[in-house]
A and B are shown apart, each in its own frame.
Chain A
Amino acid sequence: MAKMHVATTINGEPEEFLCEPHDSMLDLLRGALGLTGAKEGCGTGDCGACSIMLDGRLVCSCLMLAPEAEGRKIDTIEGMAQGETLHPLQQKFLEMAALQCGICTPGVLMASRALLERNPDPTETEVRFWLAGNLCRCTGYDKIVRAVLETAAEMRGAA
C-alpha cells in the first residue's frame, strides 16, 4: 500500500511527511519527524503525556491519525521555548522542582499553557480539573499545581 503524503504546519513551519494511514500523530512526531518531546505513556488517551495542540486545541496525539494533520496547525513542546528563552511555565517548573522523571512534563506544560491562554487567573480547582488528563507517577501533583498557579500570578503581573 502506498504511503500517504501529508502537508501540515508544525510549530509555525510548513512540514511534509509520508505515513501509513493508521499511524498515529504521536508515531510520526517521535519517529520520522524526530520530535521526541511528546511521550507515549499509554497510547489510549488516559495519561496526557502525548499532548499537543491541534488548530489551537489540546489533544492526545496518540488518539489522532497522522493523515488527519493534512492542512492543520500543530504545536508541540519543541515550539514552547523561544530559542534559549524558556516559557515562563518551563522556567517555573525548573525553579519549583515540579518534575522528577520528566516523562509527564511535556504534556503537563502543553496543557498548562493551553489553560493559561484561556484563563490567566485559574483557581486551584480549575487547574486540577484542567490537568486531570495528565497523569504523573512521581510528583504527587502538588508541585505541578503550585508551579502553574505561581506562573499564572507572575504572568498576570508582567502583563
Chain B
Amino acid sequence: MTEIRYIAPSSLEEAIGAYAAAAGAARILAGGTDLLVQMRAGVVSPGTIIDIKKIAEATGIEETPEGGFRLGAAVSGAALAEHPRFGQAWPGVLEAVNLIGSTQVQGRASPGGNLCNGSPAGDSVPAMVAAGAVVTLQGPNGRRTMPVEAFPAGPGRTNLAPGEILVSFTLPPRPKGSSDAYLRMIPRTEMDIAVVGVGVNLTLENGTVTAARVGLGAVAPTVLLVEAAAKALIGSKLEEAALEAAAEACRAACKPIDDKRGTIVYRTKVAGVLLKRTVAIAAERAGRN
C-alpha cells in the first residue's frame, strides 16, 4: 500500500477542506463496514481517509422544532435503536437500518454509509425514500438539500458533487395516524442481501389513506420512489383492488437483474407480494398512532 493518511477532524469545515484538498484521492469513513471491506479487497485505495465520526452534526440525533428528526449521516444503527423516541415515530426506518448486517455491523454501520455506498439493495434506502427524507450535503461551494430518492445515480454511484459530504437526513413531522414499515426478501433470515426491499409510509384518517409513499429497492439500478403505487393507495380504505393496483405499480416499476439470488420473474413477483405485506404492517401501526 502506498502512502495513506488517516484524519479525524472535529469540524465539518475542516473535513470538507481536507476532502477538497485531496482532489478525489480521499474517502470519507463512517462505520467502515463497506469501505474497509472494499479496501481489503483492493477495490478502493484512498490516499486519505477522513473519519467523520468526531463531527457532532454527523453523529447526532436531533428532534427538529417542527416535530421531525435530523439524523447525522454517520449515526450507527445501534445508536439509532437506543434513541427513546425515534423508533416510535419511524419504526419502518428503524427496522430498515437495523436490518443491516449483524449486531457487530450495527455497532458501526450508518444510514449515510448505506446511501453513499450506492448499492441498489441498501436496506435503509427504500425506507428513507418512503419516509420522504431530505438529505443535506455540504461541499466547497456550500450547503444544499435534495430528496433522498434523487441521491443515487446508479449501482455504486451517487449525485454527490466532487468534494461534497453527506451531512444528515431530515425526516418530516408526523401527522396523527401515520406510520411506516420496511420488509425485505432474502434467501435466509439474517445477514444477506435483499432480493427485493419495500418501504411504505402511510397516513390514515378514519381508515382512509390520506398520504402514502412507497420506496422499492434491489429491483432496478437505483432505489425507486414508486409514485403510481402511492397514488393507488391514496383515497382508498386499503381494499383489495387498491392493494392490487399498488402491487401492479410496483411490479411495473421493476427493472431487475437476473442473478443467483433471484431471477427477473421472481423479483418482479415478490415486489408485488412484499408491497401488500408492508402496507399491512404500516397500516396496522398507523391505526395505533
Which residues of A pack against B, CB within 8 Å? 1, 4, 20-22, 24, 43-46, 48, 51, 54, 57-60, 62-65, 67-68, 70, 111, 114-115, 129-134
Contact = CB atoms under 8 A, between A and B. Distances in A.
B104 A133 contact: yes
Nearest to B191: A132
Interface of B: 1, 3-6, 8, 29, 31-33, 36-37, 39-41, 49, 51, 53, 76, 78, 101-105, 107-108, 190-191
Contacts of A60: 33, 104-105, 108
Nearest to A6: B6
Contacts of A70: 8
Contacts of A115: 103
Contacts of B40: 43-44
A67 B190 CA distance: 31
A132 B107 contact: no
B190 A65 contact: no
Contacts of B31: 63
Contact of A48 (B29, B51, B76, B102): B102
A46 to B, nearest CB: 8
A68 B8 contact: yes
A134 B102 CA distance: 8
Nearest to A4: B6
Nearest to B48: A21
Given A21-B6, A24-B36, A65 B29 contact: yes
Contacts of B29: 65
- Which secondary structure dominates where chain A touches chain B? mixed
A72 to B, nearest CB: 10
Contacts of A130: 103
Nearest to A64: B32
Given A44-B40, A132-B102, A133-B101, A57 B76 contact: yes
A59 B107 contact: yes
B108 A1 contact: no
Nearest to A48: B104
A45 B104 contact: yes
B36 A59 contact: no
Nearest to B108: A59
Contacts of A134: 102
A51 B36 contact: no
A65 B104 contact: no
Most chain A beta-carbon contacts within 10 A, residue among B6, B53, B108, B191:
B6
Given A1-B4, A45-B37, A63 B190 contact: no
12 contacts: A4-B6, A20-B4, A21-B5, A43-B40, A45-B104, A57-B78, A59-B104, A59-B108, A63-B36, A63-B105, A68-B53, A133-B104
Contacts of A4: 6
A97 to B, nearest CB: 24
A65 B36 contact: yes
Nearest to A23: B6
A67 B39 contact: no
Given A44-B37, A59-B108, A132-B190, A67 B6 contact: yes
A130 B105 CA distance: 11
A19 B36 CA distance: 16
5 tightest Cβ-Cβ pairs between the two chains A and B:
A133-B102, A21-B6, A132-B190, A59-B107, A57-B107
A45 B37 CA distance: 8
A112 B162 CA distance: 43
Contacts of B107: 54, 57-59
Most chain A beta-carbon contacts within 10 A, residue among B33, B40, B51, B104:
B104
B51 A1 contact: no
A111 B103 contact: yes
A60 B103 CA distance: 9
